[in-house]
Amino acid sequence: MPQFAAITRDGLVELVTHRILELPGRQIIAVDGADAAEPVPLADLIAAALRATGRAAYVVSLHDYVRPASLRMEYGRDDELSYRTAWFDYEALRREVVDALHDTARWLPALWNENTDRSARAAIRPAAPDTVVLIAGPMLLGRTLPFDLTLRLDMSEPALRRNTPPDHQWTIPALLHHHHENPDPPTFFIRWDHPHRPALRTEPPR
């Protein structure tokens, strides 16, 4: 039976920051969580803590790597299978961020503007030898993306239903299905039903 220990948000940021600082060279970190878990703000806090130590750190939102609306909404605006398989461009994320950072020391912070449904027109950025890029968003784990360290902000179905806006409730079955079918163990597994009172699984990180 997994064991959990209470931890503050600040304590979690400090713990993860120290772990990242132990990793040499350029690093790709996943902060996996439903939109209801707000993974991007947590990634921003970790990036800020890293920058305070002198480490170059940036955040990529998975919502800046969506596919065009014509593809992600081909079967309607609330198709559960499409949300799992066609909404986000994980292959482009691998090519333009994960592989690019390690192979060419250059990376693209955004690919597609979800609001305007047009190219983000973002400039490719060079990466210093110790650059850390945190990628934040839903269903990142289980995609065979070669992350260097991973966080999973886990929310139960009741918590997801409480915190997901009514017009996005249709995404919840997709989120639950993906994580049931892809139990990819993260480095840090955090119960996130109450973000002001998170709990960290205390098994040794992989």
Give the tens place of pLDDT for each residue, 164-199: 999 999 999 999 999 888 877 899 999 999 999 999
* Residue spans per domain, the chain: 4-201
Under the banding of pLDDT at 50, 70 and 90, the label for residue 84 is very high
The pTM score is: 0.94
pLDDT at 204 over 70: no
Give the tens place of pLDDT for each residue, 29-38: 999 999 999 9
Q: What dotted CATH number matches 4-201?
A: 3.40.50.300
Under the banding of pLDDT at 50, 70 and 90, the label for residue 75 is confident
How much is the pLDDT for 130?
Answer: 95
Helix, strand, coil: what percent of the chain each, to 5? 40, 20, 40
How far apart are alpha carbons 86 and 83 in whole angstroms? Answer: 6
pLDDT at 206 over 70: no
How much is the pLDDT for 13?
Answer: 98
